Structure 1
Amino acid sequence: MTNYSSSDFEQDNEFQKALAQYEEMKAGNRSIYFDADQLADFAEYYASLQQYDKAFEVIEYALSIHPGNTEVLVIKAHINIDLKNIQEAKVIAYSIPESYDRDVKMLKAELLILEEKLGEAEEILMELINQEENDNVDNLLDIAYLYTDSNLPQLALPWFEKAYKMNPENDEIRIGLVDSYRDCGMIDKGVALYNRLLDIDPYSAKYWYELGRLYFTTEDINKALDAYEFVLTINSANHSAILMMAHCYFKLENYEKSCEYYEKYATMVNNSSTAYFYIGFCQYNLKQYDKSIENLKSSLELSEGVSPEIVDTYTYLAFCYKEKGMFDDALLYIERAIKEDPNNAELYVHKGDILLNGDHKEEAAKAFNTAILMAPDDPRTNIDIGRIYCENKMYDIGLTYYKNVELNAPGFDDIYLSMAFAYGAMGNNEQFTDYLIKATKQDHDKVMDSLKLMPEKEQEELKQLIRDLKKAIDEDEGKAEFN
């Protein structure tokens, strides 16, 4: 909606002075005249803070002293778009007399995009750019962002390319263009652009960082690490690159290195609840449960219980306490996670797991049933519950959940392998062999890989059995093909 974030307004001293005068006037302490541009900015600022009542109050006041003002009406329409009042925004947009105005055309194009009338929107935008006074980089970027905000990167790309041709030295355009290449699956073009820039300026930490970001978002983690290493070679105190190094090692499940970089980042950026969350997360994976609890609690304290990671923080605290055998504490934290995200079926699976491990079988069954009712079409829920029962040596109950998956989603993930091991643990050799054959037909390599955690003697025996099964399966398939 807006061209500015709240921080942009807050850094503008003139704006802040005028806003204070407006608020003083509204308090009834004095009478001051404000022009329409100032009042439109006040409304936009309040909207950026999601204080919509105040925004509409400013707009009504503005229209009372500047009736029909185009800028104020455009802001009013944009706020209605933010609030999903699309029809109201449309009525406002098409009531503005100055239909030739640049902002009015952009508003109408946005509404058409929201209605998926992309051809009509493009016509308005081309008409806008064909006006000489509007043929500039800023307008090209605004149009590109109009499409990216609507998750239409393929339509944004041509506008970023036009802007880049007009001003190839602009970093905002370069980053927008590369992001658009990425979102359109044209990764090579994005990499080629940054490599050209690095040929010109090989010591640019910014270009190396952005190249790393591109590799990271496309899951090419080792190349991302190389790029961030160059950033840190140029500037060892670049805390953003240190954080991304931590994220990269986390993606690679190298939790020791990841933790090392998160800890380094935490010393550079004071009171980062996110850093302490990830430190705790890494330590959980390293089975350092006491340290994990300490850092996850630090994350909670720093965020004052409000952060994007709050549910995961509570969940991993619960996991830590479960691993320590402190089931009451584990239950306390999983309940807090559920309170934050009550419609998350996975959390009820975790609750059931904690209760079952704490020997509360009936309560565990209730939690599992809640999870099933919340996600009746998700085979993963049944597999997870079956696995938990099997881990607790309750194979007959675990198999009932596995059978639900076999019935409703045959071949899903490693269901046949899970069933084979459950039957094997129960001593049912016939069913064990039947399901091991199914699993081997489905994914021989995965079956072989699953044996690594077994004792060496059993591992070798089963590997030989699977090799024999695979050979027999291949021979049968060869005969069927020949016939």
Structure 2
Amino acid sequence: MPEDLDYFESEDFKEILRQYEESVKSGERIYMDADDLTDIADYYHYNNRLAEAEDAISLAIEYNPEAVGPMLYRAREALEKKDFKTAEQYADKVEPLDSIEGIYLRAEILITKGELDSADELLSGYIKDLPEDEYADFVKGVVGLYLDYDQFAKAFEWIARTTNNDSVGFKELMARTLFGLGKYKDSERLFNELLDKDPYSANYWNALAGVQYMKEDYSGALTSSEYAIAIDPNDANGLLSKANTLYAMGNHDEALKFFQKYSEKVPDDEFGYLHQAICLINKGLFKDGLEKLKKAVSVSAIDSIHLPEIYQEMAFTYNTLGQMEKALWCIDMTEKLDCDHFHMGVIKGHILLANQKETEAEAAFAKVLQDSGNNPKVRLRIIISYHDNKFLHFAYNAYLDFFKTVGEDYKEGYAYLALCCNELMKNDEFLYYLKKACDCNPEEARAILGEFFPAHMDPKDYYQYALEHTDD
């Protein structure tokens, strides 16, 4: 993929893409440079239009099977499938033609294998013999490579190797690196500086929206995503950014509209259908939500990171519709997926408990607890399930026993105990555990108890507010 995604916004690329798409539409073959066709394939792949990407790269290989661009594309396809042998065969072909791209590819193979130190050693060894005028560009490529694999600490180390970091390219890489390291304030500052120089970059606006979203500055994120959409109404990333932000703000009606628009642009991405479903379910439209979840499954790859969540949402939705067996089937479908199987085991018990299958639920909970080695997080989730299913006295005693067992240093769960005390009208204990929850885990306190307090109130103020309103 081109290092600078702004290339996809450039007039040069748009013209190449237009010519190609017109030829496809007319059925008349057009001769194009193999690297241009690879860029088109990258563009389609980036936008999850995989069938169109395959057509473009196949044509590039037909025109020039020895071109470096198409070989790199095929190598990275192999890496996505963990087919290291094929990727290394392509590296052998690329290296004599373009030594720098060859070394990047070999490093990428090592990173994908999890051999990060070996990759870094390979890259560090190569840079020793590079001419000075190639040094900065090589470093930039290495940083981009590490960012592609979310190796933000390594990216930061390589940025520090060059003093030529005031250029637009390095500033963008630094902004992305700082974002990955959780340095949102610094990342936001750099993206604003980039936008001062290029205010019509949809990619920069989307990146800024992402930073603001992580800072929970939803108003700012919404504005930034709207700028991106104003620049390019067909920008899928802008549509998705706005949808995510609206959802975080609790505006499910508007979020649904923008998730729908996103899915129209990227019809093969299960993420859009999953979140359409969540919006519909939050609106009480369970059957409509279920249809979107089925659509999400139909377009998902078997190794999709979203598939466990899709099946989880399907399980809860089927259960809400009174179809317990189908709900349990959805949980069974996650057994061979790469996910938190203890979490799924707890959900299975929760569904059984919700359907008054207490004996079966107890057996399911016992199994997952044993499989997890009596993991405290799993034990707490099981207690919360009894709490959610209104076994309040059982949950209350289980919470107390749990906190005696895990000790004073355990920070999770106090907000749930406070909630349970409130539901049981144990007011003094509610106040005690409310304070405990706000002191040791304010984020959990906000998530579980925030509905009892004014919007935007800091959890550190919950206790005093509750004291002053205990008779309300």
Q: Is the 8 A contact 1:352 1:367 kept in 2?
A: yes
- Residue aligning to 1:151: 152
- Counterpart-to-counterpart distance in 1, 2:328 and 2:322: 11
User: What pairs up with 1:185-200 in 2 under 5 angstroms?
Assistant: 186-200=183-197
AA of the residue aligned to 1:361: E
* Deviation of 1:315 (Å): 0.9
Structure 1 range deviating more: 351-360 or 246-255: 246-255
Q: Is the 8 A contact 2:240 2:258 kept in 1?
A: yes
- Residue aligning to 2:29: none
- Counterpart-to-counterpart distance in 2, 1:451 and 1:239: 33
- Counterpart-to-counterpart distance in 2, 1:448 and 1:53: 47
Question: Aligned pair 1:438/2:432, yes or no?
Answer: yes
Q: Is the 8 A contact 1:157 1:181 kept in 2?
A: no
Question: Aligned pair 1:132/2:137, yes or no?
Answer: no
* Deviation of 1:296 (Å): 0.7
- Counterpart-to-counterpart distance in 1, 2:467 and 2:393: 28
User: What pairs up with 1:52-201 in 2 under 5 angstroms?
Assistant: 52-54=84-86, 78=107, 81=110, 84=113, 110-111=120-121, 121=124, 127-128=128-129, 131-135=131-135, 137-145=136-144, 148=147, 150-152=151-153, 153-159=155-161, 162-165=164-167, 168=168, 170=169, 173-184=170-181, 186-201=183-198
1:316-372, Cα deviation, whole Å (9 max, x unpaired): 111112122222221222222334357521111111111112222111112112232
When the two structures are superposed, what TM-score results if normalisation uses the length of structure 2?
Answer: 0.68
- Residue aligning to 1:409: 406
| Residue in structure 1 matching 2:206, options 206, 209, 217 | 209
Taking structure 1 as reference, are residues 126 and 420 closer, same or farther at Cα in structure 2, changes over 3 Å only?
closer
AA of the residue aligned to 1:233: A
1:260-295, Cα deviation, whole Å (9 max, x unpaired): 211222233334432111100112222221111111
Taking structure 1 as reference, are residues 287 and 464 closer, same or farther at Cα in structure 2, changes over 3 Å only?
same
- Residue aligning to 1:480: none
1:375-412, Cα deviation, whole Å (9 max, x unpaired): 44643433332232234343454245323421233465
User: What pairs up with 1:453-472 in 2 under 5 angstroms?
Assistant: 467=467
AA of the residue aligned to 1:154: F
Secondary structure of 2:333's partner? helix
- Counterpart-to-counterpart distance in 1, 2:206 and 2:94: 45
- Counterpart-to-counterpart distance in 2, 1:465 and 1:223: 29
- Counterpart-to-counterpart distance in 2, 1:218 and 1:346: 28
Q: Is the 8 A contact 1:216 1:224 kept in 2?
A: yes
- Residue aligning to 1:96: none
Structure 1 range deviating more: 10-19 or 222-231: 10-19
AA of the residue aligned to 2:157: L
Taking structure 1 as reference, are residues 186 and 128 closer, same or farther at Cα in structure 2, changes over 3 Å only?
farther
- Counterpart-to-counterpart distance in 2, 1:44 and 1:252: 41
Taking structure 1 as reference, are residues 177 and 12 closer, same or farther at Cα in structure 2, changes over 3 Å only?
farther
Taking structure 1 as reference, are residues 331 and 231 closer, same or farther at Cα in structure 2, changes over 3 Å only?
same
- Counterpart-to-counterpart distance in 2, 1:174 and 1:448: 36
- Percent identity among equivalent residues? 18
User: What pairs up with 1:302-341 in 2 under 5 angstroms?
Assistant: 302-303=299-300, 307-341=304-338
Secondary structure of 2:345's partner? helix
- Residue aligning to 1:239: 236
- Counterpart-to-counterpart distance in 1, 2:381 and 2:184: 36
- Residue aligning to 1:296: 293
Q: Is the 8 A contact 2:418 2:434 kept in 1?
A: no
User: What pairs up with 1:265-276 in 2 under 5 angstroms?
Assistant: 265-276=262-273
Q: Name the structure, 1 or 2, with higher relative contact order (CA <8 Å, separation 6+).
A: 2
- Counterpart-to-counterpart distance in 2, 1:194 and 1:72: 28
Secondary structure of 1:308's partner? coil
Taking structure 1 as reference, are residues 239 and 84 closer, same or farther at Cα in structure 2, changes over 3 Å only?
closer
Q: Is the 8 A contact 1:42 1:55 kept in 2?
A: no
Aligned length: 403
- Structure 1: give runs of 5+ residues left out of the alignment: 20-33, 91-106, 114-120, 455-462, 471-483
| Residue in structure 1 matching 2:343, options 331, 343, 346 | 346
RMSD of aligned Cα (Å): 4.7
* Deviation of 1:42 (Å): 10
Q: Is the 8 A contact 1:43 1:75 kept in 2?
A: no
AA of the residue aligned to 1:156: W
AA of the residue aligned to 1:247: N
Structure 1 range deviating more: 225-234 or 189-198: 189-198
Secondary structure of 2:152's partner? coil
AA of the residue aligned to 1:401: A
When the two structures are superposed, what TM-score results if normalisation uses the length of structure 1?
Answer: 0.66
Q: Is the 8 A contact 2:311 2:331 kept in 1?
A: yes
AA of the residue aligned to 1:51: D
Question: Aligned pair 1:281/2:278, yes or no?
Answer: yes
- Counterpart-to-counterpart distance in 1, 2:289 and 2:179: 36
Q: Is the 8 A contact 2:72 2:105 kept in 1?
A: no
Q: Is the 8 A contact 2:416 2:448 kept in 1?
A: no
- Counterpart-to-counterpart distance in 2, 1:378 and 1:345: 9
- Residue aligning to 2:259: 262
| Residue in structure 2 matching 1:222, options 211, 219, 222 | 219
Q: Is the 8 A contact 2:414 2:437 kept in 1?
A: no
Q: Is the 8 A contact 1:420 1:433 kept in 2?
A: no
